[in-house]
Chains A and B, each alone.
Chain A
């Protein structure tokens, strides 16, 4: 149980275009989903927290208009990188937390590698 998928697993796009990444919880309902960014050999940096049906809460320094997050259902959240630039190239990972009361564990997706040329 507790499987989270991400699509696509990797994507290459040209500078100035937008890219959408999907995160799905396959066998549980995720009231909260998180989006992280990870640079090579570095830890996960939380970008934003999204609750189903609510606006996402962004971490300090993360541009809301650049990284659009939508959590429209209990099993799906999307991250759209708008007007991507080479410095946005990174490994983006989502995680999901079950709505079960008291459960704190986050289950991670396999990640999406974005390369902006």
Chain B
């Protein structure tokens, strides 16, 4: 079993839809949770960073962490075609530790 599981999709939604992306994990030591966006043939770009459980909102993006269920989510409101990319969840047990990535979910937002 992988430490971090993420449905690779692909996920296709119409413009304006609310998108829900999720990851589950098995390592209860994870405390730091991140979401990255990666466009084709580019490096990942940090979107959201959350420590421990709770919600965090930044514009159209909301990150949720439920440590009791070992489940994290990223919500994208009013999705745009420019949101089309691969979204990777990543997590770590310490502030200085390495990141463990999910497989990534391919998202397409069509006009």
- Across the interface, do A105 and B44 meet the contact criterion of CB distance under 8 Å? no
A56 at the interface (CB under 8 A from B): no
**Given the contacts A41-B8, A44-B101, A110-B43, A104 and B49 also touching, CB distance less than 8 Å:** yes
Interface pick from B11-19, B59-67, B75-83, B90-98? B90-98
Partner of B99, one of A6, A41, A106: A106
Give chain B's interface secondary structure class: loop
Q: Does A107 contact B (CB under 8 A)?
A: yes
Contacts of A109 in B (CB 8 A): 43
Q: Out of B8, B43, B96, B99, which one reaches A93, CB within 8 Å?
A: B43
CB of A42 closer than 8 Å to a CB of B: yes
Chain A residues contacting B95 (CB-CB under 8 Å) are 102-104
Task: Pick from B6, B46, B102, B104: contact of A106, CB below 8 A.
Answer: B46
- Pick the contact of A49 from B45, B94, B98 — CB < 8 Å? B98
B46–A107 CB distance below 8 A: yes
Q: Are A105 and B102 in contact (CB under 8 A)?
A: no
Given A4-B43, A111-B41, check contact A43 B102 (CB 8 Å).
Answer: yes
- Spell out A's residues near B (CB within 8 Å): 4, 6, 32, 34, 41-44, 46, 49, 91, 93, 95, 102-111, 113
Chain A to chain B contacts (Cβ below 8 Å), 27 pairs: A4-B43, A6-B43, A41-B106, A43-B6, A43-B101, A43-B104, A44-B88, A44-B101, A91-B41, A93-B43, A103-B95, A104-B32, A104-B49, A104-B94, A104-B95, A104-B96, A104-B97, A105-B34, A105-B46, A107-B46, A108-B36, A108-B45, A108-B46, A110-B42, A110-B43, A111-B42, A113-B41
